[in-house]
Amino acid sequence: MDKFDRIYELHSLLKAHRHPVSLQAIQEKLECSESTARRIVDALRDRFAAPIEYDRERNGWHYDHAQRQLYELPGLWFSADELYALTVSHNLLANLQPDILSSYISPLKNRIENILQHKRAGHPDIARRIRIFQQAARPTDLDQFRRIAGATIERRQLRILYHGRERDQTSERTVSPQRLTYYRSNWYLDAWCHLRDGLRTFSLDRAHVVEVNDTPAEDIADETLDAHFASTYGIFAGPPKQIAVLRFTPAAARWVADEHWHPDQQGEVLPDGSYELHIPYSDPRELVMDILKYGEEVEVVAPEALREQVRQRLRAALDNYK
């Protein structure tokens, strides 16, 4: 731990305690000698104007009670571990959709890297050691994303052209954006559609912004949004109507038992080592795709309609190899 980290740790220690902290406790927290601990106390008080007071009766240091919650270290101040975490977070955000957020967070990344180098905590391999892979991500136009994100944050209505894949039709909509959602490597806009007079979800790669209106967006209560969209995506779509009962082989059970398919799922390891998973669902389409990826390692036990859907898909796949 270097001097900068010790100043940060001492600040955090004093902020967290209402009563005086002894020199021994400071030494243990900062992992240093008595003389070094005293120098850090002096540096925090004199160089950074921290409201440190010494209590002779209790033989310890504390922040002035009136200023304890108000005082903060000046500038961007993090420990090395927190800076590493921020750098990893930057890489994660940048990889969610290349170039979409980079222009906004690159200046912060550069400053973080400069601080790491200044603290002698930087490492040239940090960016190379974090890898993020996305599956089936669809490209989103950077300019379109910025306009939609801006309207969502600024609470303004949007006029969009939207091409729906299912019906292969394009329609013009005026929407009040509510939330941007990142689901299975792709971006979606949850919005109030003024054409349909209801909440709808739009895939960003199929939306083209015609105009950002000055008209304020209609605000939908968070409780209403949560109730509608918490079950909107994939197998969560709509209120659950049935329970899928899936039985996985003992070999697949070692993985499936740790997987989270649905917040209300229930699983059980059977005596033969297989795993039975119960999943509530409404729209079976995405659930069928998730089942098919396990091939011969899974059987749909119930309901019969879902079992027949999977059977038909497997027969159709087999026909491709005749």
Query: Could you read off the pLDDT of 112-155 as tens digits, one per residue?
Result: 666 556 554 445 555 566 666 666 677 778 788 888 988 998 89
Question: Please, what sign has the CA dihedral across residues 296, 297, 298, 299?
Answer: positive
Chain segment 9-53, per-residue pLDDT in tens: 899 899 888 899 999 999 999 989 999 999 999 999 998 888 999
pLDDT-derived band at 164 (thresholds 50, 70, 90) equals confident
pLDDT digits (tens, 9 = 90+) for 231-269: 555 555 567 788 999 999 999 998 898 888 887 899 999
pLDDT reported for residue 215? 94
Query: What's the CA gap between 233 and 283, in Å, rounded?
Result: 10
Q: Cα–Cα distance between 247 and 301 in angstroms, integer?
A: 7
pLDDT on residue 55: 92
pLDDT tier at 296 (50, 70, 90 boundaries)? very high
Neighbour count for residue 120 (Cβ, 10 Å)? 9
pLDDT in tens, 186-236: 888 999 999 999 999 898 989 999 899 999 999 999 888 877 766 555 555
Q: Hey, which residues does 186 pair with through a beta bridge?
A: 183
Sign of CA dihedral 138, 139, 142, 144: negative
The pLDDT confidence band at residue 109, using thresholds 50, 70 and 90, is low
In this prediction, residues 86-100 reach a mean pLDDT of 60
- The answer to whether 157 and 213 are in contact (CB under 8 A) is yes
Residues 181, 189: Cα–Cα separation, whole Å: 6
Can you read off the two tokens belonging to residue 202?
């739009």
Phi-psi region of 156 (alpha: psi -120 to 50; beta: other; left: phi over 0): beta
Query: Greater confidence, 314 or 68?
Result: 314
The domains of the chain, with CATH numbers, are 3-63 (1.10.10.10), 142-221 (2.30.30), 242-319 (3.30.70)
217-250 in b/e form (b: 16+ CB < 10 A) is: beebeeeebeebbebbebbbbeebeeebbbbbbe
- Alpha carbon 105 to its chain centroid, in Å, reads 16
Res. 295 pLDDT band, cuts 50 70 90: very high
pLDDT reading at 157 higher than 90? yes
DSSP type of residue 18: S
d(CA 164, CA 234): 16
pTM of the model: 0.57
**Rounded CA separation 64/53 (Å):** 6
User: Can you tell me the mean pLDDT for 76-90?
Assistant: 62
